[in-house]
Amino acid sequence: MKFTSSSQELKSLLKSEQDKGKSIGFVPTMGALHSGHLSLIKQAQKECDIVVCSIFVNPTQFNEKSDLEKYPRTIEADKNLIKNYCDYLFAPETAEEVYGDKIELIEFDFGGLENELEGEFRPGHFQGMANVVSLLLKIVTPDKAFFGLKDYQQYKIVCRLVEIIKLKTEIVGCTIIREENGLARSSRNELLSEKGREVASVISYTLNYIKKYHAHFSITEIQEKAKAMIQGILEVEYLEIRDAETLKNITSWENNNGVFVSFAGMIDGVRLIDNIRF
Ligand code: AMP
């Protein structure tokens, strides 16, 4: 695996790969890599000749300064984890390397997708994410880019983004990787206490409960029941049952686009998200 922190160097390295006719798969991350990220890298390896991973803790997508400051940074362990699966690791050391001298954010219109769920609770988050993804995609110019369905709303927004900025990159959504107890793997899990990590399994338990038993209840009934199952263990920020395409509220289980259940909540001062679709 070749490591670089320079976008210019990365561009010229990838240009020579593309000149040889190699296809490029790209996995953008914020580091503190775990088996969830690795599964994206392995998927990229299956589908493309060359795999590029980026590690960049993007300051513009954090709406809480403290969240940005305490975000785990483990670059040496990250390199070790992915070195046998990835061809190029791009880890810019400064925001200027990605944004240029001045950070100027473009305000994208994602048709309302950006204002639902996470958009409501993390103002500006998706604009920051979309800006950095757009810049990274322009540096890497991949054939395919791989995103985890753990961040389903992010995945939907990135799919829109490539249409808006007219890139040919195909966006591939990858399955959620979980810990043995069902907790979705996340870099933030490292910040949980042992007990927190154990009891946070109630999130996936409850999401699966909704999928299994939804037909016995109305949407509001099961939503309230599910919140009650989690509340007390985690502080529930939201637990919403939505249309899987528009992310808007639904009125019936017989929803053509499918049902998307999205959760966000706090435990040990750590914010966790998870979801299920059916
Ligand atoms: P992050 O480093 O948190 O920005 O995540 C980078 C990419 O890895 C995103 O596309 C995430 O959706 C994906 N990812 C993170 N955790 C998981 C997981 N448990 N399963 C699958 N993909 C994941």
Summarised one tens digit per residue, pLDDT across range 228-245 is: 999 999 999 999 999 999
For the CA of 184, the closest atom of ligand 1 is 19
Same domain, 77 and 118: yes
**Residue 37 a catalytic site member:** yes
The answer to whether the CB of 177 is under 6 A from ligand 1 is yes
- Please report the pLDDT score of residue 1 as a whole number: 98
Domain-located, residue 30:
yes
* Torsion sign across C-alpha atoms 97, 100, 103, 108: negative
Report the C-alpha gap between 77 and 222 in whole angstroms: 42
- Please report the pLDDT score of residue 98 as a whole number: 98
Same domain, 213 and 119: no
Domain-located, residue 180:
no
- Please report the pLDDT score of residue 59 as a whole number: 97
| Residue ID of nearest Cα to ligand 1 atom 18 | 36
Same domain, 119 and 151: yes
Domain-located, residue 179:
no
Domain-located, residue 181:
no
In the reported structure, the alpha carbon of residue 258 is separated from the centroid of ligand 1 by a whole-number distance in angstroms of 22
Residues of the chain with confidence (pLDDT) below 70: none
Same domain, 154 and 69: yes
The answer to whether the CB of 40 is under 6 A from ligand 1 is yes
Place of tokens 């263990």: 233
173 φ, ψ (degrees, to nearest 5) = -90, 130
Q: Give helix 7-19 / helix 125-140 axis angle, nearest 10°.
A: 50
Domains of the chain: total: 2
Check: CB of residue 126 under 8 Å from CB of residue 114: yes
Identity at 272, one-letter amino acid code: L
The answer to whether the CB of 37 is under 6 A from ligand 1 is yes
- Would you say how long the chain is, in residues? 278
- Please report the pLDDT score of residue 166 as a whole number: 98
How far apart are the two ends of the chain, measured CA to CA in Å?
Answer: 38
The answer to whether the CB of 186 is under 6 A from ligand 1 is yes
For a mutational test of ligand 1's pocket, the pick from 27, 38, 39, 40, i.e. the residue with the most ligand atoms closer than 8 A to its C-beta, is: 40
CATH number (domain holding residue 256):
3.30.1300.10
- Please report the pLDDT score of residue 192 as a whole number: 96
pTM beyond 0.85: yes
Domain range enclosing 242 = 187-277
Sheet of strand 170-174, all strands in order from the earlier edge strand to the far edge: 2-4, 88-90, 50-55, 24-29, 144-148, 170-174
Q: Which two tokens stand for residue 13?
A: 């390295």
Domain-located, residue 217:
yes
CATH number (domain holding residue 81):
3.40.50.620
The answer to whether the CB of 36 is under 6 A from ligand 1 is yes
Report the C-alpha gap between 107 and 134 in whole angstroms: 12
36 φ, ψ (degrees, to nearest 5) = -65, -50
Q: Which two tokens stand for residue 122?
A: 């993390």
Options 34, 37, 125, 214, the catalytic residue: 37
Domain boundary among 143, 174, 205: 174
Same domain, 265 and 158: no
For the CA of 176, the closest atom of ligand 1 is 20
Domain boundary among 174, 196, 218: 174
Domain boundary among 174, 195, 214: 174
